[in-house]
């Protein structure tokens, strides 16, 4: 049976697959965009297993809507 727990599911902005966001190792872009782990890795992200953080952020240029055009 397919269990539906949509609360934590978010759609990867790059490949469109659903990921569990913070429960898995998705990389958050801004307030409500998420890059799934696979895409984040492909884009140069480096995940620290011990600390459970991204030690190197993936290149998300062109993926998320520009929240702050002045931001770097």
Question: Considering CB under 5 A, how many residues would be counted as binding Zn ion?
Answer: 5
Per CB under 5 A, the segment of 1-9, 15-23, 47-55, 64-72 that binds Zn ion is 15-23
Closest residue by Cα to residue 40 from 24, 5, 68: 24
Report the residue number, 42 or 69, with the smaller CB distance to Zn ion: 42
Q: What is the 3-state secondary structure (H, E, C) of the chain?
A: CCCCCHHHCEEECCCCCEECHHHCCCEEECCCEEECHHHHHHCCCEEECCCCEEEECCCCCCCCCCCCCCCC
Q: Does 12 bind Zn ion (CB under 5 A)?
A: yes
Site track 26-65 with Zn ion (rule: CB under 5 A), x = hit: ----------x--x--------------------------
Chain residues that interact with Zn ion, rule: CB under 5 A = 12, 14-15, 36, 39
């Amino acid at each position: 049976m397919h269990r539906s727990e949509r609360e934590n599911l978010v759609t990867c902005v790059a490949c469109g697959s659903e990921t569990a966001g913070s429960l898995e190792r998705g990389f958050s872009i801004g307030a409500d965009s998420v890059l799934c782990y696979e895409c984040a890795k492909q884009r140069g992200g480096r995940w620290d297993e011990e600390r459970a953080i991204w030690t190197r952020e993936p290149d998300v240029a062109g993926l998320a809507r520009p929240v702050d055009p002045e931001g770097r």
